[in-house]
């Protein structure tokens, strides 16, 4: 766990805090708002703007469940204008315990855009029964509205109502009654838009619900089996229960996806919703206790368990209009648990407990989303539901936490098993190492013997030649001064050949034992300098030299190795030029860019037979034994190119010439890396 990684996580969470609420609030306020029962959508473009919300001031008729005919036959007085989405509790006088109970009618007039098309309304739930009329036609209902507890039937069953407007305006009438819950009214946003968009939204929401629930159930089942097979500690079991409670919560809120495949009464539905709410913190604290036993207090855990069971017991013993009053104190209770949780989880992270980083990140995101949803459902802010975002991040972070802990546990177990077998394995490994070392030493000795034999043989040959010439001069009295220059020339050639061999040996040793010395290189100048240095070679003056090397940008490499490579190749091109060629030439061309250098050395010399090309870069290999080369030159060239992370290729044809193509990367990045490393040290 690195500090920078943890800081990045905290910065990300802080970014969510800063950006989430303002951005969503602006988005929420972008919809037209109804004023005194009228919503003007005449400027609204369904194609460009899409679905809108029927939010704002609706006409509100208290203590009346009116049908559309009631408004046609007489003028009914408006009790007041009420905000939708919202509840009527604050608009009703009387006992606080009964303000949510009653019945009323909501009414809204909508001025439509000129372009007519098939529209639809999306309705989630009202508290706790409703009917909906559009232009006098009943388009949907949830439960049965009534004037008393006995007359009405509560129900939560979201629906979509599709219709074709007949005029320039719409009249929406919504009778609502509630005698079963602490709050009453149109507490969810009602949406209006093109029918296909509304229907797609329903499918999209249900798909998301089922995807999240399916993911949670699969993750939960995996951890249940983990607990069954291992039984190391109960944390995977608690995590399985948490996943199931969260899945129930998702299916009994929002789109109420449970209604699609199960016929459940409203009373059972509301009990499941509240039990999943009250039991989730209880199980989660137990889960945390086993994950971080040194940070989570046992006393606090016991209190949380008792309080959770108390709320759950009240839910089971009392009807919804009573136990629903426990939501507000429970929200305060959750907030206190969250503060405590944030403290201990931060402490676990600070103490570098396994998986604590993932845990803390998921917890903070979920906490922010829960706070947002509490404020949103309490109609304090207008942002939207973000519980899903927090929930998904949270569950996956917990899965990562458990996976991390179990992976370390398995790793420790494997390490223990490995330590038990270490004695035997170490002996076997040591034997293998000894055998391998012996083989390498034998191979190195054989190679060294070959090098020593070849070098001593090649050195003795020119030395013997020089000694023979000296002896010949001493014994040949008849030569006089006329042949002396000839003998001196022969000695010079022999000594130069010896010098060349010694230089090859030096280059061989330098390339093998010297680290890269990177510096800025001007390739055109380097090649010009090499040509100047090689101008003394026999018949070098007769060969035309054409240099076409272009360099753009800064290029870094090892100058000494580049000199070794190009000197060897160019000197070979000079030495093995075609004696029958009327105009011998060497063309050096290439491009050097900030990325790489590609340089070709082309001659029209003797050429190399195809049968020798595969072995031409082997050590001591000579394509023409009539020549006096050491056989090390091209081997050194290839080794030097590979040291520079480059490649070399050859094309050749007898009596036509040879082309060497060298591709070398710019090692500037390596310079930067070494500089950073030296600074950090």
Query: Residue 645: which CATH number?
Result: 3.30.565.10
Q: What is the Cα–Cα distance from 474 to 477, expressed in whole angstroms?
A: 7
pLDDT digits (tens, 9 = 90+) for 529-551: 888 888 877 777 888 889 999 99
441 by DSSP, 3-state: which?
Answer: helix
**CB within 8 Å of 6: residues ≥ 6 apart:** 349, 357
Q: Which residues of the chain have pLDDT under 50?
A: 1-29, 453, 457, 626, 677-681
296 falls within a domain: no
Distances (CA, A) of 586 to 2, 132, 135, 546: 57, 94, 95, 6
Q: What is the Cα–Cα distance from 594 to 591, expressed in whole angstroms?
A: 10
- DSSP for 337-398, please give it: HHHHHHHHHHHHHHTT-TTHHHHHHHHHHHHHHHHHHHHHHTTS------HHHHHHHHHHHH
pLDDT digits (tens, 9 = 90+) for 67-120: 999 998 888 999 999 999 999 998 988 777 788 999 999 999 999 998 889 999
**What would the two tokens of residue 247 be?**
């899945």
Residue where a domain terminates, one of 196, 226, 247? 196
**What would the two tokens of residue 48 be?**
């460009």
Beta bridge partners of 164: none
What pLDDT, on a 0 to 100 scale, did the predictor assign at position 27?
Answer: 41
Q: What is the Cα–Cα distance from 277 to 373, expressed in whole angstroms?
A: 13
From the number of C-beta atoms within 10 Å of its C-beta (0-12, 13-18, 19+), residue 40 rates as: middle
Q: What is the Cα–Cα distance from 37 to 135, expressed in whole angstroms?
A: 15
**CB within 8 Å of 364: residues ≥ 6 apart:** 13, 342
Name the residue range of residue 40's domain. Answer: 31-196
What pLDDT, on a 0 to 100 scale, did the predictor assign at position 13?
Answer: 45
278 falls within a domain: no
Q: How many CA atoms lie within 13 A of 400 on its CB side?
A: 15
Distance of CA 25 to the CA centre of its chain: 29
Q: What is the Cα–Cα distance from 635 to 616, expressed in whole angstroms?
A: 8
Task: Please give the tally of structural domains in the chain.
Answer: 2
What pLDDT, on a 0 to 100 scale, did the predictor assign at position 259?
Answer: 87
Q: What is the Cα–Cα distance from 62 to 85, expressed in whole angstroms?
A: 16
575 falls within a domain: yes
- DSSP for 274-289, please give it: HHHHHHHHHHHHHHHH
Beta bridge partners of 102: 178
**CB within 8 Å of 250: residues ≥ 6 apart:** 209, 212, 213, 216, 257, 388, 391
pTM: 0.56
CA proximity to 556, closest of 506, 595, 514: 595
525 falls within a domain: yes
End-to-end CA distance of the chain: 21
Q: What is the Cα–Cα distance from 438 to 111, expressed in whole angstroms?
A: 95
CA proximity to 300, closest of 344, 248, 266: 344
235 falls within a domain: no
Residue where a domain terminates, one of 138, 162, 196? 196
Distances (CA, A) of 264 to 138, 149, 180, 609: 24, 20, 17, 89
Q: Tokens 């060897």 — which residue? A: 568
**What would the two tokens of residue 229 be?**
């097979």
Query: Residue 113: which CATH number?
Result: 2.60.120.260
542 falls within a domain: yes
Q: Tokens 């913190």 — which residue? A: 281
Angle subtended at Cα 539 by Cα 535 and Cα 541, rounded to the nearest 5 degrees = 50
265 falls within a domain: no
H helix or E strand, kind and range, residue 203 = helix 195-230
433 falls within a domain: no
Cis peptide before 128 (omega within 30 of 0): yes
Residue where a domain terminates, one of 172, 196, 220? 196
């Amino acid at each position: 766990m690195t500090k920078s990684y943890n800081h990045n996580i905290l910065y990300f969470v802080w970014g969510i805090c800063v950006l989430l609420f303002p951005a969503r609030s602006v988005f929420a306020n972008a919809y037209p708002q109804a004023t005194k029962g009228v919503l003007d959508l005449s400027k609204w473009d369904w194609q460009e703007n899409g679905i809108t919300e029927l939010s704002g001031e609706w006409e509100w008729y208290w203590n009346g469940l009116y049908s559309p005919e009631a408004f046609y036959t007489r003028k009914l007085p408006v009790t007041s204008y009420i905000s939708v989405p919202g509840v009527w509790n604050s608009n009703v006088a009387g006992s606080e315990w009964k303000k949510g109970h009653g019945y009323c009618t909501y009414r809204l007039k909508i001025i439509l855009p000129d372009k007519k098309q098939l529209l639809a309304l999306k309705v989630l739930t009202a508290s706790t029964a409703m009917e909906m009329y559009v232009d006098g036609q009943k388009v949907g209902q949830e439960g049965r509205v009534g004037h008393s507890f006995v007359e009405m039937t509560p129900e939560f069953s979201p629906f979509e109502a599709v219709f074709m407007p007949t005029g320039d305006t719409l009249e929406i009438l919504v009778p609502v009654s509630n005698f079963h819950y602490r709050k009453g009214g149109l507490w969810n946003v009602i949406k209006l838009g093109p029918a296909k968009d509304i229907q797609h939204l329903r499918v999209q929401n249900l798909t998301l619900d089922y995807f999240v629930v399916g993911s949670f159930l699969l993750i939960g089942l995996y951890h249940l089996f983990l607990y069954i097979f291992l039984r190391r500690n109960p944390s995977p079991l608690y995590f399985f229960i948490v996943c199931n409670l969260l899945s129930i919560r998702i299916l009994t809120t929002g789109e109420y996806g449970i209604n699609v495949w199960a016929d459940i009464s409203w009373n059972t539905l509301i009990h499941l919703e509240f039990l999943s709410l009250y039991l989730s913190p209880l199980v989660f604290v137990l889960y945390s206790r086993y994950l971080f036993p040194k940070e989570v207090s046992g006393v606090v855990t016991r209190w949380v368990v008792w309080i959770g069971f108390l709320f759950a017991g009240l839910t089971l013993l009392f009807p919804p209009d009573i136990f629903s009053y426990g939501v507000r104190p429970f929200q305060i209770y959750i907030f206190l648990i969250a503060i405590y949780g944030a403290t201990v989880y931060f402490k676990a992270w600070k103490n570098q407990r396994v998986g604590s980083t993932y845990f803390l990140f998921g917890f903070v995101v979920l906490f922010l989303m829960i706070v947002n949803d509490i404020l949103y459902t309490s109609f304090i802010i207008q942002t939207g539901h973000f519980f899903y975002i927090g929930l998904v991040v949270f569950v996956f972070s917990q899965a990562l936490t458990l996976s991390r802990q179990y992976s370390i546990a398995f790793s420790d177990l494997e390490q223990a098993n490995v330590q038990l077998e270490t004695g035997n394995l170490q002996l076997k490994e040591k034997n293998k190492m000894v055998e391998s070392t012996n083989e390498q030493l034998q191979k190195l000795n054989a190679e060294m013997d070959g090098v020593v034999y070849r070098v001593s043989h090649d050195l003795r040959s020119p030395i013997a030649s020089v000694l023979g010439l000296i002896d010949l001069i001493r014994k040949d009295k008849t030569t006089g001064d006329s042949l002396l220059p000839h003998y001196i020339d022969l000695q010079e050639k022999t000594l130069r050949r010896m010098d060349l061999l010694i230089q090859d040996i030096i280059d061989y040793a330098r390339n093998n034992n010297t680290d890269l010395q990177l510096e800025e290189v001007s390739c055109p100048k380097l090649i010009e300098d090499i040509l100047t240095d090689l101008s003394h070679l026999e018949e070098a003056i007769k060969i035309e030299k054409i240099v076409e090397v272009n360099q753009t940008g800064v290029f870094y490499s090892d100058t000494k190795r580049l000199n070794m490579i190009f000197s060897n190749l160019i000197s070979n091109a000079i030495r093995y030029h075609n004696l029958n060629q009327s105009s011998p030439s060497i063309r050096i061309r290439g491009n050097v860019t900030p990325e790489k250098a590609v340089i070709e050395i082309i001659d029209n010399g003797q050429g190399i037979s195809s049968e020798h090309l595969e072995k031409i870069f082997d050590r001591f290999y000579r394509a023409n034994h009539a020549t006096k080369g050491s056989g090390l030159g091209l081997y050194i060239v290839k080794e030097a190119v590979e040291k520079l992370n480059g490649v070399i290729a050859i094309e050749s044809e007898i009596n036509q010439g040879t082309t060497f193509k060298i591709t070398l990367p710019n090692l500037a990045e390596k310079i930067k890396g070494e500089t950073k490393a030296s600074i950090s040290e």
